[in-house]
Amino acid sequence: MNKITIPALILAVAAFSTALAQKQTPPEGAPPKAFTVPAHESYTLPNGLKVTLVPYGIIPKVTVSMAINAGSVNEGSGHGGVSGITAELLKEGTEKLTPEQLADEAARMGSTLDVNASDDQTIAGLDVLSEFGPDAVRLLSDVLEHPRLPASELPRLKTDMLRQIALGSSRPQTIALMHFRKLLYGDHPYAVVLPPDAEVKAITLDEVKSYFTSNFNPQRSHLYVAGKFDTAAVKKAIADSFSSWPKGGSTWKPDIPTPQSRRILDVTDRPGAPQSTLIIGLPVPPPNSPDAIPLLVTNALLGGSFNSRITANIREQKGYTYSPRSQLSRRYHDAYWAESADVTTQFTGPSIKEIFGEIDRLKADPPAGPELKGIQNYLSGLFIIQNSSRGALISQLQYVDFQGLGEDYLKTYVAKVIAVSPADVQKITGQYLKPQEMTIVVVGDKSKITDQLTPWSIQ
């Protein structure tokens, strides 16, 4: 029996192994599909408020979001933190509604009021059940046109912000980013990652009101409504609620920086640290540049995806770090490329060498077709996923409108990603990603890394 069973078993195992090998080789995927922007309507009220309505999806929910061109870049010297405090105070009621009533009204619609300030914009919005679309418009109008801004909540909000600043300031990643931004942007507001404690402590209610009245007005705002909603009812609510919003305040005047590309080695001592935190990068063309999409592809191939070259090198092959990544960090008509990583202390110098080595390798030799195709498919698929919800779609539209990229940007994005050639990647790398002009920021144990950094010190 053994003589019969064993050969049969061997044949069965071989057949299974062959089938498994065949199963592990999936068929080639179909070409990436272009993203189709849902039919939408855009118009402007007489007071300058821009409106975009996007009927989208079958889920009975609708997102109402207002983007105001006002953020930390508009705070003014010595007033750090006022944009964030203002955003938080807007959630503390209106002239008619107490904070509790405002929260209850949003909850009645199946939502909470969300208000967040960034470098360039403040975004306020609600995601509600479809039947409450007009009510959400009216509530958002009340918040933005008649905020309570209670003095009683100011001390609490300042204390909360100071806690967040203290927490952030203790993290090596935040410390590195603070140094990197300062070296890139100097005295420009984009240099500020966390506002100074003293400036936050000094914020007064009058300062908040001055910031609000100067920056929050219809001429600097764009209202987006996306989801399943009654178009006529929502348009009527917009006209009734926002037409009386006075133009007031100042018009938007972008403050575009001119960061410099230059070799600087900046080291912050963190005695006893088992890792060194690295940020290495330089300014690159902004989002409205013709090279913006080729830069996105190049970044994803170099360090901006899990299968990227730098990640494969210093994570998979050498084990210097667990989660390296590169990114294109973008603001209004401004961008920089940066690779960041927390690397084992003894491999601080070798990590920098390998990062620069991968840049030089890509500059010298164009990527192979299959490698580039994999990155393009990844970016195309990711783009479709990023537009697959109401909030995500609004975020994309807000980005396109804010950067002035034009109506066709979303429609042609996938095609432009696929059109990037190996020669384009090689050209972009050589033209913009120059190691000799990159700022190098390191947070780590100086006693163990100083000698490792000698090759990158300014001679």
Domain ranges, ordered by start, for the chain: 41-242, 264-456
Question: What does the pLDDT look like over 407-416, one tens digit per residue?
Answer: 899 999 999 9
- Place domain 41-242 in its CATH homologous superfamily: Metalloenzyme, LuxS/M16 peptidase-like (3.30.830.10)
pLDDT by residue (tens digit) across 331-371? 999 999 999 999 999 999 999 999 999 999 999 999 999 99
Other beta carbons within 10 angstroms of residue 284's beta carbon come to 25
Q: What pLDDT score does 33 carry?
A: 74
Task: Give the span between the Cα atoms of 180 and 173, in whole angstroms.
Answer: 10
> 191 pLDDT exceeds 60?
yes
Banded pLDDT at 1 (limits 50, 70, 90): very low
Backbone φ and ψ of 7, nearest 5°:
-60, -40
**pLDDT-based confidence at residue 27 (cuts at 50, 70, 90):** low
Q: Is 310 exposed, middle or buried (0-12, 13-18, 19+ CB in 10 A)?
A: buried
pLDDT at 215: 95
pLDDT in tens, 441-456: 999 999 999 999 999 8
Supply the pLDDT for residue 250. 81
**Residue 458: is its pLDDT beyond 70?**
no
Q: Is the pLDDT of residue 7 over 60?
A: no
Residue 24 pLDDT class (50, 70, 90 cuts): low
The reply to whether the predicted model has a pTM over 0.85 is yes
Contact 307, 373 (CB under 8 A): no
CA distance 421 to 272: 46
- The rounded percent of the chain whose pLDDT value lies above 70 is 93
User: What is 264-456's CATH superfamily?
Assistant: Metalloenzyme, LuxS/M16 peptidase-like (3.30.830.10)
Tell me the Ramachandran region of residue 246: left when phi exceeds 0, alpha when psi lies from -120 to 50, beta otherwise: beta
Q: By percentage, how much of the chain surpasses pLDDT 90? A: 85
pLDDT confidence of residue 386: 82
pLDDT of residue 243: 96
The values of phi and psi at residue 303, to 5°, are -155, 0
pLDDT at 236 over 50: yes
Mean pLDDT of 304-315: 95
Query: Between residues 45 and 12, which one has the greater pLDDT?
Result: 45
Q: What is the pLDDT of residue 364?
A: 95
Q: Round the average pLDDT of the chain to a whole number and report it.
A: 92
Same fold, 41-242 and 264-456: yes
Q: What is the pLDDT of residue 112?
A: 97
Does residue 22 register a pLDDT over 60? Answer: no
What's CA 412's distance to the chain center, in Å? 21
Planar angle of CA 25, 28, 34, nearest 5 degrees: 145
pLDDT band, very low/low/confident/very high, at 18 (cuts 50, 70, 90): low
Confidence of residue 203 (pLDDT cuts 50, 70, 90): very high
How far is 163 from 165, CA to CA, in rounded Å? Answer: 5
- For 253-271, b where at least 16 C-beta lie within 10 A, e where not — what string? eeeebebebebbbebbebe
How far is the CA of 271 from the CAs of 267, 268, 345, 445, in angstroms? Answer: 12, 10, 11, 5
Which residue would you say has higher pLDDT here, 12 or 422? 422
Q: What does the pLDDT look like over 116-165, one tens digit per residue? A: 999 999 999 999 999 999 999 999 999 999 999 999 999 999 999 999 99
Q: What is the pLDDT, as a whole number, of residue 17?
A: 53
Higher pLDDT, 259 or 372: 372
- Spatial strand order of the sheet with 439-444 comes to 264-269, 439-444, 275-283, 334-344, 325-331
Q: Judge whether residue 9 has pLDDT over 80.
A: no
